[in-house]
């Protein structure tokens, strides 16, 4: 299989990932999760490997080769890191074979302190995520991935009154929304969601953010899938001319027509404007073992098979935390995904004698649309990261746009 097959497999995994998340406001990095599944698959065999390869959408060797290629050729706009930490006492033959098979780019070492693990996350996400979403100093095996992007638009959005969203409840939730007349708008037909409205916004940092809205009765996972079809340049997606669509209202647009002066008889021209909200999504803790759609249950089985026998077995957690924001001046997102296993009885006795147990949870939050960010470039030549899905979001909660920066106050855009 080619890199294109792996990129398509990640896009398909992203649709399943968001279906498992449900129709809530939030962002995620299916890529960050897929990378850990690819590495865990190298520790599997038999039915567990078959199950993981079904989740990955490619074979285990192909998934590993794709991850190796990404980290061997870093993208200047994508901060990406993988860490493997383990208790040295678990280093057996099976673990050693798996350890050696992993890419050279994986950072390795003994289990760090909570403070050191949090520092790794802050460094890997350029400060966007302050701490590990789950941690236990008594873990015997930890596998983590981190991704972050931060890119400015080529020009800021204008802001207009939220009433320009039309008959939308969001018009009563915020006072202003974003607007642009740029050429990134279009109506397209997609295999997954039928006709959708699209806005494509490139950043100065070689990644592109695509927003896609479908008819209100289209399920979330099909809208996410359609967004990936558009962003990946699928040849099954058809761009609609405005002249091929009926005048008046569509599910999220209005088309009008007028006569204008033209240089030639019968000429047809098109223009458009996009109105959409600024938004920010914090998804601080997604339990990746909660739903089969995340695909982490066989990954945990594979990793636990590497651990030495323990009378009481191991407890393993798999968590992802993500933050993302789409605003007047740019897009930024960061995510960390972690699988951590600890010896159940050893942890019990250690805690019993030496430490209290603190658990913390923050519970958040509501017509919704999909957003995906794909890597572009860098440069003109083919690059392993080009066309890789980085982040995705399901937007249901608007926010007020950033205030205008002084350097843009006299500009028109």
Contact 224, 368 (CB under 8 A): no
Average pLDDT, the chain: 85
What is the pLDDT at residue 359?
A: 24
What is the pLDDT at residue 139?
A: 85
For residues 118-122, average pLDDT: 95
* In the chain, domain spans: 3-152+281-353, 158-277
* Cβ-proximal residues to 281 (8 Å cutoff; 6+ apart), any chain: 25, 26, 27, 322, 323, 324, 325, 393, 395, 397
In the block, tokens 């249950």 appear at: 297
| CA 396 to chain centroid | 16
What is the pLDDT at residue 259?
A: 74
User: Which region among 179-183, 379-383, 399-403 has the lowest average model confidence (pLDDT)?
Assistant: 379-383
Q: What is the pLDDT of residues 74-118, one digit of tens each?
A: 999 999 999 999 888 777 888 889 999 999 999 999 989 889 999
Neighbours of 357 (CB within 10 A): 7
Answer yes or no: is pLDDT of 353 > 80.
no
Instruction: Pull the structure tokens for residue 124.
Output: 């890997």
Contact 196, 190 (CB under 8 A): yes
Percentage above 70 pLDDT, the chain: 87
pTM for the model stands at 0.88
Helix-then-strand count for the chain, H and E: 9, 18
What is the pLDDT at residue 256?
A: 86
**171: which DSSP letter?**
G
Q: What is the pLDDT of residues 196-236, one digit of tens each?
A: 999 999 999 999 999 999 999 999 999 999 999 999 998 99
Answer yes or no: is pLDDT of 3 > 70.
no
Answer yes or no: is pLDDT of 154 > 70.
yes
What is the pLDDT at residue 126?
A: 94
Helices (H), 196-241: 220-231
Instruction: Pull the structure tokens for residue 49.
Output: 């490997």
**What whole-number distance in Å separates Cα of residue 220 and Cα of residue 222?**
5
Q: What is the pLDDT of residues 15-62, one digit of tens each?
A: 999 999 999 999 999 999 999 999 999 999 999 999 999 999 999 999
For residues 302-327, average pLDDT: 87
341 forms beta bridges with 141, 316
Domain topology for 3-152+281-353: Antithrombin; Chain I, domain 2 (3.30.497)
């Amino acid at each position: 299989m080619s890199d294109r097959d792996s990129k398509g497999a990640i896009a398909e995994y992203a649709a399943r990932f968001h279906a498992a998340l449900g129709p809530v406001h939030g962002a995620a990095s299916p890529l960050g999760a897929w990378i850990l599944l690819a590495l865990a698959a190298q520790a599997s065999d038999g039915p567990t490997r078959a199950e993981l390869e079904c989740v990955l959408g490619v074979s285990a060797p192909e998934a590993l080769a794709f991850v190796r290629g990404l980290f061997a050729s870093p993208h200047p706009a994508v901060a990406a890191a993988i860490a493997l930490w383990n208790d040295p006492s678990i280093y057996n033959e099976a673990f050693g074979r798996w350890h050696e098979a992993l890419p050279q780019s994986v950072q390795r070492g003994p289990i760090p302190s909570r403070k050191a693990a949090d520092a790794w996350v802050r460094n890997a996400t350029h400060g966007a995520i302050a701490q590990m979403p789950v941690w236990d100093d008594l873990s015997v095996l930890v596998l983590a991935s981190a991704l972050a992007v931060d890119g400015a638009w080529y020009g800021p959005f204008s802001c207009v009154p939220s009433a320009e969203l039309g008959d939308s409840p969001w018009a009563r939730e915020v006072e202003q929304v974003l607007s642009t007349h740029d050429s990134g708008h279009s109506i397209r037909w997609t295999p997954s969601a039928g006709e959708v409205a699209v806005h494509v916004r490139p950043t100065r940092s070689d990644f592109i953010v695509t927003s896609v809205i479908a008819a209100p009765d289209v399920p979330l996972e099909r809208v996410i899938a359609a967004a990936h079809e558009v962003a990946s340049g699928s040849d099954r997606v058809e761009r609609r001319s405005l002249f091929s669509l009926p005048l008046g209202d569509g599910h999220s647009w209005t088309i009008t027509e007028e006569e204008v002066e033209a240089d030639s008889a019968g000429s047809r021209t098109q223009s458009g404007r996009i109105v959409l909200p600024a938004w920010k999504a914090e998804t601080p803790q997604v339990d990746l073992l909660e739903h089969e759609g995340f695909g982490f249950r066989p990954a945990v089985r594979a990793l636990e098979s590497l651990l030495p026998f323990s009378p009481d077995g191991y407890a393993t957690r798999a968590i992802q935390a993500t933050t993302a924001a789409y605003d007047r001046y740019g897009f930024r997102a960061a995510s960390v995904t972690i699988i951590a296993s600890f010896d159940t009885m050893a942890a019990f006795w250690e805690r019993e004698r030496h430490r209290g147990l603190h658990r913390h949870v923050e519970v958040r939050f509501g017509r919704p649309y999909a957003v995906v960010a794909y890597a572009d470039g860098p440069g003109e030549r083919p690059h392993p990261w080009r066309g890789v899905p980085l982040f995705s979001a399901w937007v249901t909660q608007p926010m007020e746009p950033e205030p205008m920066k002084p350097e843009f106050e006299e500009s028109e855009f």
